[in-house]
A = this chain, B = another copy of it.
Amino acid sequence: MTKKAVVLVSGGLDSATTLAIAKDQGYDCYAVSFNYGQRHLVELESAKAVASAMGAIEHKVVHLGLDDIGGSALTDENIAVPQNIDENISAHIPVTYVPARNTVFLSLALGWAEVLDAEAIFIGVNAVDYSGYPDCRPEYIDAFQGMANLATKKGVEGQLIKIETPLIHLTKAEIIQKGSELGVDYAQTLSCYAPDAEGRACGRCDSCRLRKQGFEAANVADPTVYSAL
């Protein structure tokens, strides 16, 4: 008897690790990514490579008009991505916050999970390194779970779809250690907010810095190719 999970895969380090964990737990994995007007479609190429390498049964890219909504440096060309600003990490909600993004992504994953008759949705949110995002906190995930139990046909019939967040309390170093044990090829993943035309990471934005610090702390060789170094 197979069990199915929908796994949100962004092309980044965290979601690649999450996919490896779901697979390790015995799930048949259905990967989903979103084309939501993010500046860098190279992320979706990374997502595709990761889903394929990890043996996902299917990889769906759902188009989503978040660019119409705006409000974030990650989707709006009029807001600059911050670089080298120490206090931007965890001190407040960063400008790279996309309004309601995880809520939208989880909602679409929930719809697909219901159609697939899946038992779980895996999402690589993390409350340690990215605590500035309200929709990465455990209390948010708990509230989403409660809402999801009431939102779906499956839920009404007593079959709940569990929202799984295996990374939520891990440091970046612990995530990298776990993924390395499970065979994740981090060279396929992209974390940078501002990659160059060839898809190489800048090495300077908040996301690159957290990633680099993570590899150092994990004592794992960093396979990332940085354009600026």
Which of A43-51, A80-88, A145-153, A185-193 lies on the face that meets chain B?
Answer: A145-153
- A residues 85-124 near B (Cβ < 8 Å) are 93, 97-104, 107-108, 110-112, 114-115
A41 close to chain B: CB less than 8 A: no
> A98 to B149, alpha carbons, bound, how many Å?
16
Which of A21-29, A134-142, A168-176, A200-208 lies on the face that meets chain B?
Answer: A134-142
Are A101's CB and B93's CB within 8 A? no
Number of chain A interface residues as a range:
35 or more
Chain B residues positioned under 8 Å from A135 (CB to CB): 150-152
| Interface SS, A side | helix
> A104 to B155, alpha carbons, bound, how many Å?
16
Distance from A109 Cβ to chain B, minimum over Cβ atoms (Å): 9
Apart from the given pairs A60-B68, A103-B107, A103-B151, 17 other A-B contacts in the complex at a CB distance below 8 Å: A62-B68, A62-B69, A63-B63, A66-B111, A70-B115, A71-B111, A93-B156, A98-B111, A99-B110, A99-B112, A100-B114, A101-B111, A104-B104, A104-B107, A134-B156, A139-B150, A147-B147
